[in-house]
Structure 1
Amino acid sequence: MVKVNRVALIGTGFVGSSYAFALLNQGITEELVLIDLNEAKAEGDAMDLNHGLPFSPSRTKIWYGSYNDCSQADLVVITAGASQKPGETRLDLVEKNTKIFKGIVEQIMASGFDGIFLVATNPVDILTYAVWKFSGLPKERVIGSGTILDTARFRFLLGEYFDVDTRNVHAYIIGEHGDTELPVWSHADIAGTKISDWSKNKQDYKPEDLDNIFVNVRDAAYHIIERKGATYYGIAMGLVRLTKAILQDENSVLTVSAYLGGEYGQKDIYIGVPAVVNHSGIRQVVELDLNVEEKQKFTNSVNVLKQTMGPVFSKY
C-alpha cells in the first residue's frame, strides 16, 4: 500500500477555510479531510474546494469527515474554538477554549491518531500546552503557530521601511503570541548586516521608527479585527508554511510555540521561539543569545502565560 500524506483540519471557520484554500493552491498534501461541528459548512467547503481541483498544482483528495478520519492523519491542524472579539485579548479566550479543546483532543486520540498536532486557536501558547496535556503525545509532536505570523509581520514592516524584499529580512518576534511578545533586535539583520547599520544609512531615520514598527506588529490583530472582524489570511499562510516544513521534512527554522524544558532558563511552558521543524515535529529549540533587556522581557512573557494558565489547568 502506497503511503500518502493526510491532513485533518478541525474547524472550518475563517482561519480553517483560508488554510484549506491556501493548502490546495500549493499542492502540499495528498489528502485533506475537513471536520467541523457544522457539518453542512464542512461539506460545503469540501465541495467548493473540489471544484477548484482542475486549477490546482497537484491532485488532492478532499472530503468532509469525522474524528475517525484522524486515525490515519499525519497532521491534525486545529483552528476550531471561540474567536477573538473586538476589545478582547487573546488571553481572555483561555477558559472557554481550553474546555472546547479537551473534548476535541479526546475524540481525536480515541480515533487512534499518532501523528503531529498543529494548533492555531488563541491563546495559542496555552492551548498548545493543553493539547500536549490532553493528548499524552511527546512534546515534540505538539506544535503551536506561536509567533510565526508576528515574525512575518515584523519582517514585512522592516522590509517596507528599508525598501528591501521582506524575504531577505531576518528578524524574530518571540514570547507569547500576544501583548507581551518582544522583538529580538540583537539578532535582527538584512543580508547579514545589522538593522542598526541599515538605520545609519537611511537619511530620514529616527530611533522611534523602529519602536513604532514593533508596536504595529504587536497590535496588528487589533487593527485588523476593528476593520474586518477577524484575521485569517496571514495565519492561514503561516500554517501552510508549517505544514510544508513538516510533511516535506525540511528542517526549517520557524518561530513556533514549542515546549521549553530548560531552554532560555524556562520550564513547563509552550511559548514562541525559533525551532527546527521537520517530519518528526520539533527537532530542537534554537536558543538565541538574548541581551539583558530581551531576557527580562521574555521572562515577563513566560510569567504572564503561567499566571493565566494556573487557575485553568488546576481544574484538569
Structure 2
Amino acid sequence: MRWSDIHAADSSVFTRKKITVVGAGNVGATAAFLAATQELANIVLIDVVEGIPQGKALDMRGSSPILRFDSSVTGTNDYADTANSDLVIITAGIARKPGMSRDDLLAINAGIVADVTRNIVKHSPDCIILVVTNPLDAMVYTALRVSGFPKHRVIGMAGVLDSARMRSFIADELEVSINNVTAFVLGGHGDTMVPLPRYSTVAGIPVTELISEQRMKEICERTADGGAEVVRYLKTGSAFYAPAASVVQMAEAIIRDNKRVLPCCAYLEGEYGMNGYYLGVPCKLGAGGLEAIIELDLTEDEQSGLLRSMEAVADLVKVIDELGLY
C-alpha cells in the first residue's frame, strides 16, 4: 500500500476536535499553546493584526517535536479558517492598565466581543463558547445575547482563576502542596467576588481549622485583588498565565467530557434565587458544555455577598443593554 493510501485511510477514521482561540495576545496565545501541548484539539489562533497569529502559531508548531504534541496550530486573520470549530475561546479585547478597573473596559470590549461572536456564529453555529474577556460577567452576557445560543453553550471563565489564586495563597500560607488544597470562589469576577473558606480544604481538612479567621480574611481580600496586584507589578499589562491555564482546564473538561465540577460564570435562571444574570457558581462541565449548576447551602452572609455581587453585575448588564449591540 502506498503512503498516500495509508494517509487517506487514517484520515477517514480519525478526526481531531477543533478549538479556535480569538485574540493572539498574551492570554490567547498562551491558551492556544497549552491546549496544543495537551493535544485537546487542532488549534486555530485568530487575531485582527496581520502576522501576529501566523508567527505565534508557527513558533508553537516549531516546539511540537520537543514537547511531543501532534495537534496542529494555525494562525489566521480570516474567520473562514475557524469554520466548524467545536469550541471557541474568546480572549479578544484590550487589557487593563494601571488604575483601570474591569468596569472601565466595558463599552470597548463589549463592542469587540459582539463583533467576534457574530463571526463565530456565522462559521461555527454548533460550537461551545468560553469567554475570558473582561469585565467577564458582562462580556459573557453579551456573547449569549448576540449569539442566540442556549445558556449551556456560552460560559465564562472566572471562578477557576479566582479559586486557583486562593488555592495558591492558602498553599503558601501553610507551606503545603498545592495538590492538597481545594477552594471555591463564587460571584462576579471582580471586587465583589465571594471566596468561601467554609468550602475550602487542605487534604480534606477545612481551612477554617488551620488558618485564623483574621488571616483567612486577608487571604480572601488578596484573592479579590489578585488581578489588580498583577497589573500593579507589570504596569503595562495584566495576568495571562493563570487565566490561560484556567480556560484550558475548562476546555479540557468539555472536549474530553470529563464531567468536572468547576466554578464557572453561568447564566442563572432561578438558581441561588437569582435570574437573568451571569454569576460564578459551581458547574459540571462535559461534552454538552454546562451540564449542571450545583447549588450550595450558603450561610446568610455568603448569600448576601452573592447578592451584592449580582447587583454589581446587573449594573453592567444595564449599560450593555443600552449599547444596542444586539
Q: What's the TM-score once normalised by structure 2's chain length?
A: 0.91
Deviation of the 1:208 alpha carbon: 1.6
Deviation of the 1:141 alpha carbon: 0.6
Tell me the alpha carbon deviations over residues 197-249 of structure 1, each in whole angstroms, 9 at most, x when there is no partner.
Answer: 223xxxxxx43211111111111211211111211001111111111111100
List structure 1 segments (4+ residues) > 6 angstroms apart after TM superposition. none
Tell me the alpha carbon deviations over residues 270-301 of structure 1, each in whole angstroms, 9 at most, x when there is no partner.
Answer: 11111000111010011111100000010000
Tell me the alpha carbon deviations over residues 27-46 of structure 1, each in whole angstroms, 9 at most, x when there is no partner.
Answer: 222x1111100121011111
Q: Distance in 2 between matches of 1:112 and 1:14?
A: 24
Tell me the alpha carbon deviations over residues 33-63 of structure 1, each in whole angstroms, 9 at most, x when there is no partner.
Answer: 1110012101111111111110233301111
Q: Which segment drifts farther, 299-308 or 56-65?
A: 56-65
Match of 1:191 among 181, 203, 209: 203
Structure 2 alignment gaps of length 5 or more: 1-11
Contact 1:12–1:41 at 8 Å: present in 2 too?
yes
Counterpart amino acid of 2:74?
W
Say yes or no: does 1:147 pair with 2:159: yes
Judged with a 3 Å threshold, the aligned counterparts in structure 2 of structure 1 residues 303 and 196 are, in CA distance, closer, same or farther, namely: same
Task: Trace 1:56-67 onto structure 2 (pairs within 5 A).
Answer: 56-65=67-76, 66-67=78-79
Match of 2:248 among 240, 247, 253: 240
Q: What's the TM-score once normalised by structure 1's chain length?
A: 0.94
Match of 1:220 among 215, 226, 230: 226
Task: Trace 1:117-196 onto structure 2 (pairs within 5 A).
Answer: 117-196=129-208
Q: Which segment drifts farther, 136-145 or 106-115?
A: 106-115
Q: Which segment drifts farther, 216-225 or 259-268?
A: 216-225
Task: Trace 1:1-316 onto structure 2 (pairs within 5 A).
Answer: 1=12, 2-29=14-41, 31-65=42-76, 66-199=78-211, 206-228=212-234, 229-316=237-324
Deviation of the 1:185 alpha carbon: 2.2
Contact 2:184–2:195 at 8 Å: present in 1 too?
yes
Q: Distance in 2 between matches of 1:112 and 1:63?
A: 17
Structure 1 alignment gaps of length 5 or more: 200-205
Q: Which segment drifts farther, 263-272 or 217-226?
A: 217-226
Fraction of identical pairs, as percent: 31
Contact 1:172–1:184 at 8 Å: present in 2 too?
yes
Contact 1:27–1:56 at 8 Å: present in 2 too?
no
Deviation of the 1:100 alpha carbon: 1.3
Q: Distance in 2 between matches of 1:190 and 1:227?
A: 29
Contact 2:45–2:53 at 8 Å: present in 1 too?
yes
